[in-house]
């Protein structure tokens, strides 16, 4: 694959940022439609916002003056980003009105076991982790990819635990996801 110059990388970062903003609007619409629900670890949401803004700010700031990664590395990172976006859109489509960025579990939630949820319990978090690893690498920011990914993981761990506690209280959730791994599908 061809190298992505500073301007091309900045366009990539901006495009993903616009996609995230569209997701926020979609999430707000879903929360209005799905009705009241309990939020998992609401104190982590401002931290998640800060970490995600940090991802885009760091990548945009590093777009100039940093050499592009070797074509194979940059290409693999862009493929990973494409996979992350596709996976997140698959999650959004599969969850329908239950999908939201605040991990609000609607009172009348029914477990969704279709789409990527057939394979893992938290595919949306897999998509986010892929973006945190791949977006900086696509611009040659390897160290930033490591510390941004680690920061994202620190914020997500308590949120995922709280979200799982809420989901376990949903009738049928435990039974539907018995034996389904959290993040990585089992190879058969």
pLDDT digits (tens, 9 = 90+) for 62-88: 877 778 899 999 999 999 999 999 999
At residue 186 the predicted structure's pLDDT band, cuts being 50, 70 and 90, is confident
Residue whose pair of structure tokens reads 């791949």 in the numeric block:
134
Q: Is residue 95 part of a domain?
A: yes
pLDDT score at 163: 95
Other beta carbons less than 10 A from residue 119's beta carbon: 14
Q: Is residue 140 part of a domain?
A: yes
pLDDT score at 14: 95
The yes-or-no verdict on residue 122 having pLDDT over 90 is yes
Q: What is the CATH number of the domain that holds 148?
A: 1.20.120.1630
Q: Is residue 187 part of a domain?
A: no
The yes-or-no verdict on residue 1 having pLDDT over 80 is no
At residue 3 the predicted structure's pLDDT band, cuts being 50, 70 and 90, is low
Q: What is the mean pLDDT of residues 95-114?
A: 91
Q: Is residue 32 part of a domain?
A: yes
Range of 28's domain? 6-176
Residue 31 and residue 100 in contact, taking contact as beta carbons nearer than 8 Å: yes
Q: Is residue 184 part of a domain?
A: no
Residue 151 and residue 51 in contact, taking contact as beta carbons nearer than 8 Å: yes
pLDDT digits (tens, 9 = 90+) for 9-62: 999 999 999 999 999 999 999 999 888 889 999 999 999 999 999 999 999 998
The yes-or-no verdict on residue 150 having pLDDT over 90 is yes
Q: Is residue 188 part of a domain?
A: no
Residue ranges of alpha helices (H) inside the chain are: 6-34, 44-61, 71-95, 123-138, 142-168, 173-176
pLDDT digits (tens, 9 = 90+) for 91-102: 999 999 999 999
Q: Is residue 185 part of a domain?
A: no
* Local structure of 140: helix, strand or coil: coil
pLDDT score at 142: 94
pLDDT digits (tens, 9 = 90+) for 127-141: 999 999 999 999 999
Q: In total, how many domains does the chain have?
A: 1
Q: Is residue 86 part of a domain?
A: yes
Tell me the CA end-to-end span of the chain in Å, nearest whole number: 31
């Amino acid at each position: 694959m061809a190298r992505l110059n500073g301007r091309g990388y900045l366009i990539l970062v901006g495009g993903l940022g616009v996609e995230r903003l569209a997701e926020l609007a979609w999430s707000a619409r879903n929360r209005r439609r799905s009705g009241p629900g309990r939020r998992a670890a609401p104190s982590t949401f401002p931290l998640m916002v800060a970490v995600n803004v940090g991802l885009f700010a760091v990548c945009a700031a590093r777009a100039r003056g940093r050499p592009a990664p070797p074509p194979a590395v940059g290409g693999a990172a862009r493929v990973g980003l494409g996979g992350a976006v596709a996976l997140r859109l698959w999650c959004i489509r599969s969850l329908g009105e239950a999908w939201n960025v605040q991990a609000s579990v609607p009172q009348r939630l029914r477990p969704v076991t279709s789409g990527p949820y057939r394979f893992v319990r938290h595919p949306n978090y897999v998509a986010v982790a892929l973006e945190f690893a791949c977006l900086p690498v696509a611009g040659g920011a390897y160290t930033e990819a490591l510390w941004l990914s680690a920061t994202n993981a620190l914020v997500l761990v308590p949120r995922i635990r709280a979200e799982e506690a809420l989901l376990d209280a949903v009738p049928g959730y435990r039974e539907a996801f018995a034996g389904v791994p959290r993040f990585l599908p089992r190879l058969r």
